[in-house]
Amino acid sequence: MKEVTISEFRSKCLAMLRQVQKTKRPIRITKFGKPLAEIVPVSPHKNKDWFGLLKGKLEITGDIVSPVFDEKDWKDLQD
């Protein structure tokens, strides 16, 4: 991984961002010789619909339609 000082990054940040985008290789930014941050390429986002994403991966157990509380208990909780 390429390492650059923070001052070098300040002066060439746009060129370095283009380099990361082009080469897909990260750059580590250091300050006083210690790692401060890493610029990494964005991973490709799969353009999936969120709806149905977990289809077949979850199992419903029990009754999810009936109220959790009795109607009387619900009224008591509201007071």
pLDDT attached to residue 67:
76
**77 pLDDT tier (thresholds 50, 70, 90):** confident
* 28: in domain: yes
The tally of domains found in the chain comes to: 1
- Give the separation between CA 19 and CA 13, rounded to whole angstroms: 10
Supply the pLDDT for residue 70.
Answer: 77
Mean pLDDT for 20-31 is 96
Domain annotation covers residue 33: yes
Residue-averaged pLDDT of the chain? 87
Residue 74 counted as domain residue: yes
Indicate the pTM of the whole model. 0.55
Asked, for residue 47, whether it belongs to a domain, the answer is no
- Asked, for residue 50, whether it belongs to a domain, the answer is no
Domain of residue 27, residue span: 2-42+55-78
Among residues 27, 3, 1, which one has the least CA distance to residue 14?
27
43-57 burial: b if 16+ Cβ within 10 Å, else e = eeeeeeeeeeeeeee
Is the distance from CB of 68 to CB of 42 less than 8 angstroms? Answer: no
Q: Do the domain assignments include residue 48?
A: no
